[in-house]
A and B are shown apart, each in its own frame.
Chain A
Amino acid sequence: MFKKILLLALILVLFLTWATATQAGFGVSPPLIQNHQLTPGSTYSQQIMLLRSSTDDDLKAEIKVNAPDIASWISLDKGESFILPKGEYQVPVVVTFKIPKSAELGNYTGSIDIKVAPAGNGAGGVSIALGARVDIDLALTNVYQSDFLVRLVSLPDFERLGSPWNWKIWSPIFNRLFYKIKVVMNIENKGNIKIAPSKVAIEVWDLNKQRMLQSSVDKSIKKINPFSTAVVTAEFPTSLPAGQYWTKVKIYKEQEIVNYYEIAFTIAEPGVLGGNNLGIWPYLVAAALILIALAIIAILIKVRFWRFFIWLILLPTKPVWSAMINFFKALNKKFWQWIARQAEKHKEEDKKE
């Protein structure tokens, strides 16, 4: 019995040893770099992924650019030789093309050849190394094209502003600056000039989509470089209370709606979502406001503002004061008239005597 088990174990070990000795697969994704919208002076980057089917060990990769006409345009972020780390089935390599301004229009082709070291060395003969070829197919043009693709749109939940930003003394300022609905867009520029959506419009509705609560437009979307994918944000100040809403998002290219989304989002009470992560900006704004207030007070003290302050306080009572002054003037006048009459009277009496 023991012998049988030992034999089975031996067979198993042999099988496993045999299995690990097989060649591992290798490939590249994508196998083609293609761009027919490049313009002289532009830069274009493309990520290619080196793929392995087995990652038991590090593997050395060597890359050789085989594109004589454009070799000087091409750079690799990982250089021409690097290690594919153990455990990673996909290793990215970014190929960047910097097109000289003086480059002539036309088609350019070539390839990037990647080679990895063989998995083993035969007992005698020719070992096998694996490689992959990435074809390059470029065309330079002087025709400008603008196009973009919205890859992802999200509308993150957020909180109402908490203390001290919701203090009444300055909450309008902070609400305007920091209490906003944000539409986050992941946009790929598929053209060869900078571009952004011409505007993003939102309509906020109740959960039944029966009552529109807000309608806003943002036309100041940051532009994205050609051939790039970037995250841009449209912001919309709001005054909505905490609650759950539907938002209809329209993304425009010129006057045309190119994308339309309906997204649900939540405005929570302060602290419920762990804070709005406003960063240092509210503190800077608060500091600026305090400084402005102090500066105004200093100026008022300098110009003895209290005189104006008293004048301002007395201004509403001016009619009363005027009436009193006129009264005392009239009284004074009558008094002296009476004195004059008395003096005249005694004068006549003295004459009679």
Chain B
Amino acid sequence: MGKILKRKIKHTLPIIVIFCLLNILTLGFSFNLNLNFVKVQERGLVKMAIGAQADTATTSVIVKNAPPAFSVSPTEVPTSTSTTPVNVGGSIGFQATGLDGEGDDYWLIICSTNSATSTQPGGLPTCGVTEFCLSNKASSSVSASCTYNNVTDPGAETQAWYAFVCDDHYGDPHCSLSGQGSGDGGSPFYVNHAPRLVHLYTSVDNQDPGVNFTFTASTSDSDVLGGTDHMNLYVCATTTGWTAGGGCGVGSTLCVGSSTLNTSISCTYATGIPRMHGAYTYYGFVKDWHGLAASQGNGTSSTYNVNNVAPTISNVTLNQGNNITLNIKNAPAVLVKASSTSVTDNNGCTDLSSATSTIYIESATSGANCAADDSYCYQIGTSYCSISKCSGPTSATAAVTCSTSMAFYAMPTDASSIASTSSWYAKIKVADAPGLKGEASYTVLNGVEVVSASALEVSELDIPYGTVQAGTNTGATNALTTIINFGNTPIDTEVSGTDMSKNSIGPEIIGIENQKHLKTAFNFNAEGTVTSSSTPDTVQTDVSRPTSAVDVSNPIYWGIAVPFGTPSANFYGQNLFTVVLDKYDNWQYTP
């Protein structure tokens, strides 16, 4: 028996152990996973109880659908405050979570008043007055949100709101009591009103190119909560392309200003240089510091006026800084130029219209305002001045050149001259568009010298002694030569000569010492200076410096003696007339 028992136990022991282990495992699961066997049992008990009461009493109750409730209070998304209001026309979101007792889906609805109702059958809830937004249907205990777009102006700076969660219980939908949230995210939300651009004008106008203009906009803004709204002004060259977020269209921004005031706002703008004078249109746009563009007046235009400024000229040069060597009489007059490459007009070089110039001797009466006189003063009109090197309206600089033909007798100022302490100068005046404004002038800094030129012409081709009998002389009969001053200095004349040869080849000659000369008519027998071949004689012809194109001349008289025995023939010789500067007389210097 004991063995049998022992064997039975031995056979059943593993089963018992396995059973025990399974029980332990089950209990472990039940405790750890919190399996509720008791409830199942209780349900069984209830059924048993109903069954047990069926024959004792009958009661009934109709359970009505209960409205959902906020499990998470409604709030604004994003939160609006007095400093971060929602713009009129903008959007504001709302968010809340509803919990429905029967697990019904629900809507979140935001109303302007504390009134919202659900509609039958299964319709969307509605607000008593104004609905701001209605969410999509959400499951119970799941967050719902909606956005109030195109916020209308409530008039005030705040707008109260009431949130409701309304279920979609079939046949008996209900809305919760209203919720308004709390704190910044609660009702009301703050509304920012658009400013208005009342008046746009150029408060600092009529400026030169490159100088600041001030554009001012009168504005109004009724918002005061959180402080008066700051204003931004955009001044654009064009009316198109402006946005509250991006400002003026590409390349059209003139200036941008901001102001802590809500009544006036300015910005400054300097034109580039050059800028043509005249009126320029601009357009103003205003937005407040909440990025809300003005509801009125944006795109208003006004004008600013750029002054016509006088051109400037500097660094005038005369004959490129070189001394002036004139041609002598009957040669083409030398062209002399006064010029400058430093001419500017900040309205643009195309605004330059004309130039005039004066080339004058420093000692001239009234200087550059001297009366025209070819000895001292050349007034050059606009016809003889040219404006060049203007590359177009985008350039301010140009060059000007004025030219004149300088007479052969213009007063010299070099070391040879009586006017050596003086020099020649040039002044150029440039003017812009006629009738508008301005001229500018500049005098050459260092004068240049007109160089003395001593020149002569003898009117006669030869000395006309005519026929003289051998052994006699010309007596009181003189041959005449006329010395004409061809230069710009007074002159004397140096004379010398060669022996006269028979038929130009000799060998018979009439020696040069047989010729006499004098600046006045003379009798060969009593007067006259013997002419020499080796020692020239300076005849004080004293021919004055010309002061006009009219010939200025003086004569030299000649006589000859033909020695006795000189054969009858034609005799030829050559006399030399050399011009000599008469430095101290007859300059006719009356500037």
Rounded to whole Å, the gap between the CB of A330 and the closest CB of chain B is: 46
- The reply to whether B579 and A26 contact each other, CB–CB distance below 8 Å, is yes
**Which stretch in A37-45, A114-122, A290-298 binds the other chain?**
A114-122
In angstroms, Cα B321 to Cα A153, docked, is: 9
- The reply to whether A133 and B486 contact each other, CB–CB distance below 8 Å, is no
Which of B412, B497, B577 is close to A130, meaning CB atoms less than 8 Å apart? B577
Residue B484 interfacial (CB < 8 Å): yes
Q: A28-B454, A261-B314 given as contacts; is B464 within 8 A of A122 (CB)? A: yes
Interface size class of B (residues with CB under 8 A): 35 or more
Rounded to whole Å, the gap between the CB of A88 and the closest CB of chain B is: 10
Interface residues of B in 122-171 (CB under 8 A from A): none
- The reply to whether B415 and A34 contact each other, CB–CB distance below 8 Å, is yes
Residue B85 interfacial (CB < 8 Å): no
- The reply to whether A25 and B415 contact each other, CB–CB distance below 8 Å, is no
Residue A110 interfacial (CB < 8 Å): no
- The reply to whether A30 and B452 contact each other, CB–CB distance below 8 Å, is yes
In angstroms, Cα B496 to Cα A130, docked, is: 11
Chain A hits for B416, CB < 8 A: 30-32, 34
In angstroms, Cα B464 to Cα A30, docked, is: 32
Residue A214 interfacial (CB < 8 Å): no
* Closest chain B residue, CB of each to CB of A243: B273
Per-residue interface assignment for chain A, residues 104 to 139, with 1 indicating a CB less than 8 Å from any chain B CB and 0 otherwise: 000000000101001111111111111111010000
Which of A27, A90, A119, A152 is close to B579, meaning CB atoms less than 8 Å apart? A27
Rounded to whole Å, the gap between the CB of A200 and the closest CB of chain B is: 15
Residue B254 interfacial (CB < 8 Å): no
Which of B314, B453, B487 is close to A262, meaning CB atoms less than 8 Å apart? B314
Residue B465 interfacial (CB < 8 Å): yes
Chain A residues within 8 Å of chain B by Cβ, number:
61
**Which stretch in A75-83, A167-175, A205-213 binds the other chain?**
A205-213
Provide the main secondary structure of the chain A interface.
strand
**Which stretch in A49-57, A275-283, A321-329 binds the other chain?**
A49-57
- The reply to whether A124 and B572 contact each other, CB–CB distance below 8 Å, is yes
Per-residue interface assignment for chain B, residues 431 to 448, with 1 indicating a CB less than 8 Å from any chain A CB and 0 otherwise: 000000000000001101
Per-residue interface assignment for chain B, residues 545 to 559, with 1 indicating a CB less than 8 Å from any chain A CB and 0 otherwise: 000000000000010
Chain B hits for A31, CB < 8 A: 416, 452-454, 489, 579-581
Residue A142 interfacial (CB < 8 Å): no
- The reply to whether A29 and B210 contact each other, CB–CB distance below 8 Å, is no
* Closest chain B residue, CB of each to CB of A135: B581
Chain B hits for A125, CB < 8 A: 462-466, 500, 571-573
Residue B397 interfacial (CB < 8 Å): yes
- The reply to whether A25 and B484 contact each other, CB–CB distance below 8 Å, is yes
In angstroms, Cα B87 to Cα A280, docked, is: 68
- The reply to whether B453 and A207 contact each other, CB–CB distance below 8 Å, is no
Residue A21 interfacial (CB < 8 Å): yes
Chain A hits for B508, CB < 8 A: none
Question: 11 interchain pairs (CB within 8 A)?
Answer: A22-B459, A27-B455, A29-B452, A30-B416, A124-B572, A126-B558, A127-B461, A129-B575, A149-B446, A260-B445, A263-B315
Residues of A within 8 A of B (CB): 21-32, 34, 49, 51-55, 89-90, 113, 115, 118-133, 135, 149-154, 186, 206-208, 210, 244, 246, 259-266
